[in-house]
Amino acid sequence: FQRNPGKGFGDHVKTYLFKHKGKKYEYLFIENAKGLMEVVQMGAIELHPWGADIKDIHHPDWMVFDLDPDTAVPFEAVKLAALDLRARLKKNKLESFVKTTGGKGLHVVVPLSGKNKWDEVKAFANDLADQMVEEAPDAYVATMTKSKRAGKIFIDFFRNDYTATSVSDFSVRAREGASVALPLEWDEIKKLKSANQFSMQDVVKRIKKKKPDLKRYNKKQNLPK
């Protein structure tokens, strides 16, 4: 992957300078379709943004739960986990949307107002993941240790950290079949067969029939106090 500047990028692929824990960083960013085309022309396939805008990198605009199943876990269990997570978020008065990752699992994404800091968002996500593990330890795990993830769904809340990234909506995946990470409506979960079932052709047909709901990206929500 690449997040730092290099030779050959077009004028619409820009760089952002910032400091973190005493070190200087320079990351790439794009803000329009021209920039997107230019990174594709440089060989980019997958896009993995982090959860904050360059206007304020200290306050994320969304919270992400990556439901990553072990290979032995049936996809139906992943769908149930996403619905479980949605219900828990609703109890905290937070609306969410679901997305296929184009791989094995699903993302549950919570749009935020940008008022909560990274550590607050990560702590909330961590607590929610721990609750799920405590109530269903045979189904869920919330640790990166791979030896503990056999036969379970890893509730990856670590996406909610400074400079951490997650796959973008509508990003093609660099794998056989070139599946797409696709945002869905919750009522589509029931008929969903896999997290990698949508090809580029499928997505083009889908968008022609129904334009994506962009309002979900602008919903302003604060974490409960």
In tens, the pLDDT along 23-75 reads 998 999 999 999 999 999 999 999 999 999 999 999 999 999 999 999 999 99
Could you say which residues of the chain have pLDDT below 50? Answer: none
User: What integer pLDDT is reported at residue 224 of this predicted model?
Assistant: 94
Contact of 33 with 72, CB cutoff 8 Å:
no
CATH code for residues 62-218: 3.90.920.10
For residue 216, which phi and psi values (nearest 5 degrees)? -60, -30
User: What integer pLDDT is reported at residue 89 of this predicted model?
Assistant: 98
User: What integer pLDDT is reported at residue 196 of this predicted model?
Assistant: 96
Q: How far apart are CA 156 and CA 110, in angstroms?
A: 14
User: What integer pLDDT is reported at residue 209 of this predicted model?
Assistant: 92
User: What integer pLDDT is reported at residue 9 of this predicted model?
Assistant: 86
User: What integer pLDDT is reported at residue 124 of this predicted model?
Assistant: 98
Residue 100: name the closest of 211, 203, 204, 205 by CA: 203
User: What integer pLDDT is reported at residue 5 of this predicted model?
Assistant: 81
Q: Where does CATH 3.90.920.10 sit in the chain?
A: 62-218
